[in-house]
């Protein structure tokens, strides 16, 4: 059998060494499975073969844990692919997300706290399942007291069944933990969240979730961050690649955007799928516009709102614009002239079928109705002047230097700050057949305010 254990080799990494092992392994496998050699193996050899395969699996587990821990410590998948190590592994090796994340967690904790577990994995004395039991038992409250027992517990592995051994480990952990087994989900007050509004409309978030709450929130935010990453990757390609106008932010930003997107969806979702399309129940948040200086938009506390957010929010019926004169009197609630009514929303659902940004898979129920020519500049709230955009692509469309245009036959096209242009999609299919109109002479014109151009098709 193959030796990929502790005495495998020299300090330098030779990429061909592992390739040779994989090649040698595939030859043996091919002989046994494809060329019928298995039928010549007698019963004793078959038993020995099964155990050798398990021994090989332990060697691979040890190597996998060491490599994953190194990958996680370097933060490589975050920097290069915008994903945490476990999610990246699940995505690329097509594994269940929970299993991959658990594998990386064990790898990380073995590397940081348990050299004895690492060396026992390396020698083949224990496998991944043993390492996971030990790591899970050593909860943060008892980790230091638990460490001296690790070697003794590993020595017990060959003396009993796995299940019996697992009970021994859990028994030691329970004895060390004065409060009994560590189960943070038992105390609801272990769930905490502090929100700290800062200057300039920022919000600091700090807290801890336990048990089911932790799992649901972690999985939902991680999964949405992965979706945003893929969406941004597609957008970056559309806007000209690595040197284009749309860059992919780091993972921590993707996670923050994912949290915000999930909250917006929860607030804007129709009561039931069957009720769509309808105007969704939404929160009603006021934005204050001063009639004498319409460029200055603030929240109800007077905090100014940045340009991109301002245009996106004003376009969205979730937010109620309140126009005030210099004496502080409300002169316009601005609702009637911009709200997309049920009939129009239904028509938009039917025409666009979801976000009209090419390649975006966000469904119509998650989308805002964006005014191509802004309502504040007398843009009409009708089918010809509105298109469905998910919150993220709505934000991109309102960024400085970007402009979205409509054609006479109600397709849309964008111009990026560097002059790239591309067509919209309907029901997930991008317009084909002829290119979007050429870039305008003034690519930095204010977003969404350019007059609709006639189609060139
Ligand atoms: Zn808009
Ligand atoms: Zn979109």
Q: What does residue 322 show for φ and ψ, rounded to 5 degrees?
A: -120, 115
How many structural domains does the chain have? Answer: 3
Cβ atoms of 228 and 257 within 8 Å: the answer is yes
Say which ligand is closest to the CA of 363: 2
Centre of ligand 2 to C-alpha 392, Å, is: 6
Say which ligand is closest to the CA of 308: 1
Q: Say if residue 196 is in the same domain as residue 177.
A: no
Distance CA 70, CA 62 (A): 13
Say which ligand is closest to the CA of 373: 1
Q: Say if residue 395 is in the same domain as residue 290.
A: yes
pTM greater than 0.85: no
Centre of ligand 2 to C-alpha 199, Å, is: 30
Distance CA 83, CA 298 (A): 35
Sign of CA dihedral 254, 257, 263, 267: negative
Residue 25 counted as domain residue: no
Q: Which residues, 6+ apart, have CB-to-CB distance to 79 below 8 Å? A: 250
Centre of ligand 2 to C-alpha 355, Å, is: 5
Q: Which residues, 6+ apart, have CB-to-CB distance to 319 below 8 Å? A: 284, 285, 286, 287, 313
Q: Say if residue 168 is in the same domain as residue 258.
A: no
Say which ligand is closest to the CA of 428: 2
Angle (nearest 5°) at CA 371 between 432 and 425: 20
Say which ligand is closest to the CA of 261: 2
Distances (CA, A) of 215 to 111, 191, 210, 292: 23, 12, 8, 50
Give the DSSP letter string of 40-94.
G--HHHHHHHHHHHHHHHHHHHHHHHHHHHHHHHHTHHHHHHSS-HHHHHHHHHT
For residue 416, give both structure tokens: 């990026």
Regarding beta strands 421-423 and 319-324, do their DSSP bridges make them parallel or antiparallel, or are they unpaired? unpaired
Q: Say if residue 177 is in the same domain as residue 65.
A: yes
Centre of ligand 2 to C-alpha 14, Å, is: 45
Q: Could you read off the pLDDT tens digit of each residue along the chain, which spans 457 residues?
A: 334 344 444 457 777 888 888 888 888 888 877 777 778 888 888 888 888 888 888 888 999 999 999 999 998 888 777 778 888 888 888 888 888 888 999 999 999 999 999 999 999 899 999 999 999 999 888 899 999 999 999 999 999 999 999 999 998 998 887 665 555 555 677 788 988 887 777 888 988 887 777 877 888 898 899 888 888 888 888 887 777 778 888 888 999 999 988 887 777 654 333 334 444 434 445 667 666 666 677 776 667 776 666 666 666 555 556 666 666 665 554 445 556 677 788 889 999 999 999 988 888 888 888 989 887 677 787 888 999 998 888 888 988 888 999 998 899 999 888 888 899 999 989 998 776 766 554 334 344 444 334 333 3
Distance CA 228, CA 222 (A): 10
Q: Say if residue 236 is in the same domain as residue 198.
A: yes
Centre of ligand 1 to C-alpha 374, Å, is: 7
Residue 415 counted as domain residue: yes
Q: Say if residue 162 is in the same domain as residue 248.
A: no
Q: Say if residue 164 is in the same domain as residue 241.
A: no
Q: Say if residue 204 is in the same domain as residue 334.
A: no
Residue 274 counted as domain residue: no
Domain that holds residue 240: 192-268
Q: Say if residue 136 is in the same domain as residue 244.
A: no
């Amino acid at each position: 059998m193959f030796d990929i254990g502790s005495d495998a080799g020299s300090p330098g990494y030779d990429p061909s060494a592992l390739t040779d092992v994989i090649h040698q392994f595939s030859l043996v496998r091919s002989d046994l499975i494809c060329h019928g050699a298995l039928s010549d193996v007698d019963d004793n050899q078959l038993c020995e073969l099964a155990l050798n395969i398990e021994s090989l699996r332990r060697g691979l587990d040890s190597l996998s844990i060491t490599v994953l821990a190194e990958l996680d410590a370097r933060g490589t998948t975050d920097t290069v692919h915008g994903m945490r190590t476990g999610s990246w592994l699940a995505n690329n090796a097509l594994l269940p997300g929970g299993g991959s994340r658990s594998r990386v967690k064990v790898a990380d904790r073995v590397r940081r706290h348990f050299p004895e577990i690492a060396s026992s994995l390396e020698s083949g004395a224990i496998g991944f399942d043993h390492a996971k039991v030990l790591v899970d038992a050593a909860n943060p409250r008892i980790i230091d007291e638990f460490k001296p027992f690790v070697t003794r517990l590993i020595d017990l592995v060959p003396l009993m069944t796995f299940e019996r051994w697992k009970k021994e480990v859990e028994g030691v952990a329970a004895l060390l933990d004065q409060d009994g087994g560590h189960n943070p989900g038992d105390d609801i007050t272990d769930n905490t969240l502090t929100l700290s509004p800062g200057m300039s409309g920022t919000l600091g978030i700090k807290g801890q979730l336990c048990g089911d709450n932790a799992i649901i929130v972690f999985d939902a935010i991680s999964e949405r961050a992965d979706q945003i990453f893929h969406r941004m990757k597609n957008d970056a390609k559309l806007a000209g690649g690595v040197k284009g106008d749309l860059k992919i932010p780091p993972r921590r930003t993707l996670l923050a955007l994912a949290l915000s997107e999930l909250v917006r969806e929860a607030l804007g979702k129709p009561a039931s799928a069957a009720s769509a399309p309808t105007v969704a129940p939404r929160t009603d948040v006021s934005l204050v516009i001063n009639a004498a200086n319409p460029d200055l938009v603030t929240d109800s506390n007077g905090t100014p709102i940045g340009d991109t957010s301002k245009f996106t929010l004003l376009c969205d019926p979730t937010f109620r614009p309140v126009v005030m004169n210099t004496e502080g009197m409300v002169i316009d609630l601005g609702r009637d002239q911009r709200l997309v009514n049920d009939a129009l929303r239904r028509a938009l659902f039917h025409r666009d079928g979801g976000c009209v940004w090419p390649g975006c898979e966000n469904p119509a129920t998650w989308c805002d109705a964006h005014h191509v020519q802004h309502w504040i500049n007398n843009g009409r709230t009708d089918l010809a002047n509105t298109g469905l955009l998910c919150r993220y692509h709505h934000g991109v469309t309102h960024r400085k230097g970007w402009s979205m245009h409509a054609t006479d036959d109600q397709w849309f096209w964008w111009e990026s700050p560097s002059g790239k242009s591309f067509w919209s999609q309907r029901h997930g299919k991008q317009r084909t057949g002829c290119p979007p109109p050429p870039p305008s002479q003034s690519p930095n014109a204010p977003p969404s305010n350019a007059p609709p151009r006639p189609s060139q098709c």
